[in-house]
Amino acid sequence: MSIKSRLKHIVALPLFLLAVLAAQFVHVVPTSAATLTWTGGGDGSKFSDAANWSTGQVPVTGDSITFPGIVGTNSLSLQNDLTNVVFSGVQLNQTASSSYGSTNYTISKLTLSDGATIAAGPSVSNAVTPYIGVTDLVANGDLIVNSYMYPSKFTVAGDLILTSSVSFLPGSTISGKISVSNTGLSASSNVTAASYELKSYGSLTFYGAFSSPFTTPISVASGVTKAALSFYSINTYDSQTQTSTYTDKDYTLGSPITLNSDLQVYTDRQVTTRLGGQITLNGHAITKQLGSMGRLFIGDSEVIPETKTTNVTDSNPSASISVAENETTVLDGERSYASVYSGGILKGTGKLDGLYVSRGGIVAPGHSPGTMTIASDVYISGEYQAEVLNKDNYDKLVVGETYSGSGSPVSLDPTSYLNVILPAGYAINQGDQFTIIDNKSNKDVDGIFSGLPEGTQFTVNNVVFNITYKGGDGNDIVLTALNTGKDVSTPNTGAEKLSLVNPVLVAGLGIATAVLLVAVALTRRKTTK
């Protein structure tokens, strides 16, 4: 046999062996990823017990796992004792129940593949809702979270993409950005990230207890709406008096901020927020969010909305109106609903179906004075400014004629405030009554104005008033004057009225009087002689 022939045999042998080996796998179908649902049918805690899973098999790399709400169970602690198993996703399914509750899973560890999702399953009425918290959650790339998570330690190699809120355990690290949309994320010193990105309806929120320096870059994505930074005050609530006590809070944010869309900033009551990092607007704007009650500075300049007055005179009962800071809206037409936010004033004699006055907002019916009608219900957390001129002319809210709810058409928050004003020319007699809120329903008023419980007496200028929430036909808010008083700065004399009405006539009378006096004087002189 020639050398050439021998070489052919030598080369052909390994090729033949490789072909035989490959043939063994031609008809082998790779195992596809499975979805396993936790049942707790085994020992009830370990991932390695096949009886705890719906398939009767232990999860392997690539599988997706599902945790349902479990009726009658509020908290489960699970141990993932599987080694080197990387899951493709986690789903949390609601379970129908006659009584609403939640199932909280605390899991020792989870490792997820790049692009994995922790998601909520379909919504179910009257359901038990499952949530999870993971002591050691590792994502090998990007991680998408679409379901609320209890405190977890995150180690994410890519971006953390959130459409539901999460809480971080200390030591959490995000190598990429944290992207937030359709939810609020609380700023926390427990996590470090390369940056934060806000998308539509995404908010990065700072609560009163947050005090760590914050310098992580923040950006607003392109083409989004209502991206926000929110800063909240410190407050304590007394359940017995139903009042909150607020403490001044000053935030200084050192983060560079880059806008590719507009950014709103919400500042809570008694909060001062200072954006001190580099701001790149790119043609967009930073504005105070509707309802803000605190102060906002960009660098050394305070952001103050423009003062304006809006007149609403047409009838559009399907439309709503919002009254913002430094805005006065005069409603003489008809609207469905009005919201008056801090720093806003609603006036006029128009008609609404419902009215909400937030803390810092003012409702002042009429045109000094007058009546505003709210067909269904009113909730006042801010100020009701009521002018009282005399028993026939004073501010009034007529409320509840069409109210059909189970509560009350007139609700007064403990922060609500009654500001009675006696305008120039007021004249009030002892016993005069003023129905400042005429409650047309058969429901009692819910709540009281701050500092004015039933029967309280208070003084405005020189007039003492008594307040009752059970006046009129039994459920109206009525003020009663306990003494007589009038505006002494504008004497109410006939001569004054005459001069105001016809000055020409008064001048003529003056001349005639002078001539008469001269004639009298001459007559006396002749008589003397």
Nearest by Cα to 53 from 28, 87, 30: 87
So what's the pLDDT on residue 59?
Answer: 97
Instruction: Give me the residues paired with residue 364 across strands.
Output: 347
Segment 210-215 shows an average pLDDT of 89
Please report the beta strands in 97-224, taking only residues with DSSP state E, as ranges in sequence order. 101-107, 110-120, 127-134, 137-139, 143-146, 149-152, 154-156, 160-162, 166-168, 172-180, 184-186, 191-198, 203-206, 218-220
Segment 144-157 shows an average pLDDT of 96
CA distances from 91 to 36, 57, 146, 149, 318 (A): 10, 18, 9, 12, 41
SS3 content of the chain, % helix, strand, coil (to 5): 10, 45, 40
User: What pLDDT band is residue 32 in, cutting at 50, 70 and 90?
Assistant: low
CA–CA distance, 295 with 270 (Å, rounded to integer): 8
So what's the pLDDT on residue 10?
Answer: 44
Nearest by Cα to 480 from 488, 468, 496, 490: 468
HSE-CB of 182 using CA atoms within 13 angstroms: 8
Segment 278-305 shows an average pLDDT of 95
Q: For residue range 470-510, what is the model confidence (pLDDT) as tens digits?
A: 999 999 999 999 999 999 875 444 333 333 334 443 344 34
CB 325 within 8 A of CB 303: no
- pLDDT of residue 415 exceeding 70, the answer is yes
Whole-number percent of the chain with pLDDT over 90: 76
DSSP 30: P
- pLDDT of residue 27 exceeding 70, the answer is no
- pLDDT of residue 445 exceeding 70, the answer is yes
Mean pLDDT over all residues of the chain? 87
User: What pLDDT band is residue 106 in, cutting at 50, 70 and 90?
Assistant: very high
User: What pLDDT band is residue 214 in, cutting at 50, 70 and 90?
Assistant: very high
So what's the pLDDT on residue 4?
Answer: 43
Three-state SS annotation for 342-405:
CCCEEEECCEEEEEEECCCCEEEEECCCCEEEEEEEEEECCEEEEEEEECCEECEEEECCCCCC
Segment 3-11 shows an average pLDDT of 43
Q: For residue range 66-89, what is the model confidence (pLDDT) as tens digits?
A: 999 988 778 899 999 999 999 999
CB 64 within 8 A of CB 88: yes
CA–CA distance, 149 with 112 (Å, rounded to integer): 15
So what's the pLDDT on residue 242?
Answer: 64
CB 384 within 8 A of CB 417: yes
Segment 110-118 shows an average pLDDT of 98
Nearest by Cα to 350 from 324, 315, 378: 315
CB 194 within 8 A of CB 212: no
- pLDDT of residue 440 exceeding 90, the answer is yes
Instruction: Give me the residues paired with residue 352 across strands.
Output: 335, 374
Segment 517-525 shows an average pLDDT of 40
Q: Which residue has 């509020």 as its token pair?
A: 74
So what's the pLDDT on residue 490?
Answer: 56
Residue 56's region, left for phi above 0, alpha for psi from -120 to 50, else beta, is left
Q: For residue range 293-342, what is the model confidence (pLDDT) as tens digits?
A: 999 999 999 999 999 999 999 999 999 999 999 999 999 999 999 999 99
Q: How many residues does the chain have?
A: 529
So what's the pLDDT on residue 241?
Answer: 66
Q: Which residue has 């100020």 as its token pair?
A: 383
Contacts of 238 (CB under 8 A, 6+ apart): 244, 245
HSE-CB of 270 using CA atoms within 13 angstroms: 10
Q: For residues 499 and 94, which has the higher predicted lDDT (pLDDT)? A: 94
Q: Which amino acid, 205? A: T
CA distances from 312 to 299, 355, 489 (A): 37, 15, 35
- pLDDT of residue 275 exceeding 70, the answer is yes
So what's the pLDDT on residue 126?
Answer: 87
Nearest by Cα to 189 from 161, 208, 169, 205: 169
- pLDDT of residue 3 exceeding 60, the answer is no
- pLDDT of residue 127 exceeding 80, the answer is yes
CB 327 within 8 A of CB 311: no
- pLDDT of residue 17 exceeding 60, the answer is no
